[in-house]
Amino acid sequence: MSRQYYIAGNWKMHKTRAEAAALANELVEQLKGASHKYLVAPSFTLIETVAGIVKGTNIRLGAQNMAPEEQGAHTGEVSVLQLKDIGVETVILGHSERRHNYLEYDSLINKKVHLALKHGLEVILCVGELLEEREAGQAEKVCESQIVNGLEDVSAPELANVVIAYEPVWAIGTGKTATPEDADAIHAYIRKVIGRLYSSTAAENIIIQYGGSVKSDNVKALMAKENIDGALVGGASLKSETFVPIAKFS
């Protein structure tokens, strides 16, 4: 498999600048020379602090969201231009918490995807079903619709800068994890959808991360699956002693 494992830490709404600096320094030190692709995504107020620490290392700098417009009268929003200005390389879009707690809909997420790609940012596009959707046998259908709508009018060359993160919403922060088999089945299905929308080569090349209560004791079994190419880690990314073992799982 030519795809590179990609382990990302989404710090969500945690940490002060001093705490973020301490964690970033620990990660830089402990992941030095490690072989996978890495990312940390701090809160907006922490990005500049973390940027200075991870610059020039093997850890990419991410943001957890961005506005759908470049600039203007958008109180409380953060622009792609502002993110690029402080060194952000990647933006997480469509995270389930944005979709379900802040009611972001597919066409809004698609607008953000286009804006990020236009400005050369890598996009981690999150998809995933709620527990009731899974229980109703709708998991594949929900993920497919989020991908089709989220990637609408994204060209094949642009897709090279897109990573998909599958996060079953029922497994986020709940301690429940999809079994490696369940997760791999959805990842395989997502690959099939990408193949239909683009090409078999695009499907083969796209990196699909798993997100949802990833920990050091389940990461190996998840990563051993053919279609799982990395992890989008929430809670366990907040301490080096829980994140580093995931990052260095192999």
Given 36, 95, 122, 187, the catalytic residue: 95
Rounded to whole angstroms, how far apart are CA atoms 211 and 220? 14
Angle between the 139-150 and 180-197 helix axes, to the nearest 10 degrees?
40
- Is 37 within 8 Å of 67 (Cβ atoms)? no
Catalytic residue among 97, 104, 122, 167: 167
**95 labelled catalytic:** yes
Shortest CA distance to 41 belongs to which of 223, 165, 184? 165
Q: Is 157 exposed, middle or buried (0-12, 13-18, 19+ CB in 10 A)?
A: exposed
Distance of alpha carbon 151 from alpha carbon 165, whole angstroms: 13
Query: What DSSP string runs through 151-213?
Result: TTT--HHHHTTEEEEE--GGGSSSS----HHHHHHHHHHHHHHHHHHS-HHHHHH--EEE-SS
d(CA 231, CA 101): 22
Query: Is 19 one of the annotated active-site residues of the chain?
Result: no
The single-letter code of the amino acid at 224 is A
Distances (CA, A) of 175 to 30, 107, 213, 218: 26, 31, 6, 11
Size (the chain), residues: 250
Beta pairing, strands 59-63 & 6-10: unpaired
Residues marked as catalytic: 95, 167
